[in-house]
Structure 1
Amino acid sequence: MKRQLISLFCAGFALLGSNQTLADNSYKIGISDSFQPFNYRDAQGQLKGFNVDVANALCTEMKAKCEFVVMRFPQIIPALENNEVQFAPANFLITAERAKKINFSAKYYRSTTSLIGSADKAHLDPEQVLKDMNNKVGTQKGSAQNRYLVEHAHTQVIELSSIGEGLSKLNKQEIDYLIAPTLFALNFLQRPENSRMDFIGEPINNPTLSGTVHIGITKQQPELQQEIDSALAALVKQGKLRQIINQYFPFNVY
């Protein structure tokens, strides 16, 4: 498995190379790069997004040296389990299965889940759509949405490596619908080139697909959970988290 390391500076410290052992108060951060506006690359190939800015702010608050490790979403939990990365702002909803493998921070935003597809089907009930065996529904492998489809839907479930791949297949009409976090779908639907797409009905009403979102933390460094929670609380109190939210979303998602 090839991973691309993206280095960043936090708290004025020079970062270590990817083949070096990180010292105390130095962390590797697991993140994907195909989940706009949360984490993506700009035209210059630089890592950008809401999760990137939150991670940078946390590292500054903790006075830590941090290094992003870019990987696909399904690889993040195993990397946390093995302490290959120490934390990951990867849009995690807490589930019992995940809690056996990793620790979680306090919330850093709230999320719901929506179905997106052709605008001429926007009037449909998503629950009915997911009962139709003829429908092909894309989902990111390893996500809460993936698990929900496998356990509850009667459609053809198309597992994808990333939401970005799902959007590409949706545009090419290789799948009929894509199930994704509402905030991500909103960003996609606001682009002029996607005007023929829309939300299908209202967000899906299921507790496993909505709620507070948390940063994943390795269990091998239990003290890090409190450190991140303290830093998050400081960002909230200082108004810095709200400033980051306002850069990416048209309403408060905390």
Structure 2
Amino acid sequence: MKSTRTLVAATALLASTAVGAFAKDAYKIATEGAYPPFNFVDPSGKLQGFEIELGNAICAKMEAKCEWVIQDFDGTIPGLLAGKFDFAMTSMSITPERKKTIDFSDKYYSTAAVFTVPKNSTITDVSPQALQGKTIAAQSSTIHAAMLEDKYASVTTRLYPTLDEAFMDLKSGRVDAVFGDKLATAPWLKSEAGDCCHTVGGDITDPSFGPGVGVALKQGNDELKARLNKAIKDVVDDGTYKSINDKYFPFSIY
């Protein structure tokens, strides 16, 4: 399975998305390609998802030609700093810690976090005290991983390159729970693979999560940041955002 995912990801890396007949600029956009429904690679090797469609709409508003580049989530910030791409739409939350190193556009969606456990689990309370001694999985370099390490010192934290890999270990019984994004968890639970499990404890929010998810870019690129902010506002104002949102979610995530 892993080799197949790597192959389709490599195929998608070679593909680019051109937006706008009269492009004024050209940008490379990073995406993970493994975080449905926000970004993923379909069986034909094509990038799909909410962020892909939204990114294309943003590029159209900027009259820019954009090429998508697949990048592991935990390599997003190093990739930006190294100049591998111009900006990133990898469902990265805007946090004070990250803003020490990179910059963000205005938010383009917001979401809470949830704990997912097997249906036969005895876990109902998700407080740090109740989860003492449990093994909790999360995707590495995320706000969820940071919260576990900061506020759940009494649990064993196991980090994974992708959320899908964390869910696979939950299903196989290698971890007691997965802590992750509510909107990314929902489609897995609705899939055949997720029939084993459910969420407990309700929506989890925390000030450390920041104001939402934004486009990540290098510090000091104020012109690009202003263009991104205007484009995000424009797609929200003209209804484009809603039409994309409604394809993936039964409620607004803005």
| TM-score for the superposition, normalised by structure 2 | 0.89
Residues 100 and 128 (structure 1), Cα distance of their counterparts in 2 relative to 1, 3 Å cut? closer
- Given that residues 126 and 204 in structure 1 are in contact (C-alpha distance below 8 angstroms), is that contact kept between their aligned partners in structure 2? no
Q: CA deviation at 1:43?
A: 1.7
Q: What is the root-mean-square deviation of aligned Cα atoms in Å? A: 2.1
In structure 2, the gaps of 5 or more residues are 1-8
Structure 2 counterparts to residues 39-78 of structure 1, below 5 A = 39-78=39-78
SS at match of 1:169: helix
Residues 130 and 70 (structure 1), Cα distance of their counterparts in 2 relative to 1, 3 Å cut? farther
- Given that residues 236 and 242 in structure 2 are in contact (C-alpha distance below 8 angstroms), is that contact kept between their aligned partners in structure 1? yes
Greater CA drift, 217-226 or 203-212? 203-212
Structure 2 counterparts to residues 88-167 of structure 1, below 5 A = 88-121=88-121, 124-128=124-128, 131-133=131-133, 135-153=134-152, 154-167=154-167
Structure 2 counterparts to residues 1-254 of structure 1, below 5 A = 4-12=13-21, 25-121=25-121, 124-128=124-128, 131-133=131-133, 135-153=134-152, 154-209=154-209, 211-219=211-219, 221-254=221-254
SS at match of 2:138: strand
**What's the CA shift string for 1:84-110, capped at 9, x where partnerless?**
211111212222221011111111111
In 2, distance between residues paired with 1:173 and 1:70? 30
SS at match of 1:6: coil
SS at match of 1:223: helix
- Given that residues 128 and 155 in structure 2 are in contact (C-alpha distance below 8 angstroms), is that contact kept between their aligned partners in structure 1? no
Q: Which residue of 2 aligns with 1:20?
A: none
**What's the CA shift string for 1:103-149, capped at 9, x where partnerless?**
1111111111111111234860211476311x111111111111111
In 2, distance between residues paired with 1:210 and 1:229? 17
Residues 210 and 97 (structure 1), Cα distance of their counterparts in 2 relative to 1, 3 Å cut? closer
In 2, distance between residues paired with 1:232 and 1:212? 14
In 2, distance between residues paired with 1:202 and 1:26? 42
Greater CA drift, 82-91 or 154-163? 82-91
Q: CA deviation at 1:233?
A: 0.7
In 1, distance between residues paired with 2:102 and 2:51? 18
In 2, distance between residues paired with 1:89 and 1:54? 9
- Given that residues 137 and 179 in structure 1 are in contact (C-alpha distance below 8 angstroms), is that contact kept between their aligned partners in structure 2? yes
- Given that residues 122 and 198 in structure 1 are in contact (C-alpha distance below 8 angstroms), is that contact kept between their aligned partners in structure 2? no
Letter in 1 for 2:62: M
- Given that residues 117 and 198 in structure 2 are in contact (C-alpha distance below 8 angstroms), is that contact kept between their aligned partners in structure 1? yes
In 2, distance between residues paired with 1:130 and 1:177? 13
Q: CA deviation at 1:70?
A: 0.3
In 2, distance between residues paired with 1:151 and 1:162? 20
In 1, distance between residues paired with 2:120 and 2:210? 26
Q: How many percent identity over aligned positions?
A: 26
Letter in 2 for 1:232: I
Aligned residues: 243
Q: Which residue of 2 aligns with 1:17?
A: none
In structure 1, the gaps of 5 or more residues are 15-23
In 1, distance between residues paired with 2:22 and 2:172? 45
- Given that residues 10 and 59 in structure 1 are in contact (C-alpha distance below 8 angstroms), is that contact kept between their aligned partners in structure 2? yes
In 2, distance between residues paired with 1:174 and 1:166? 9
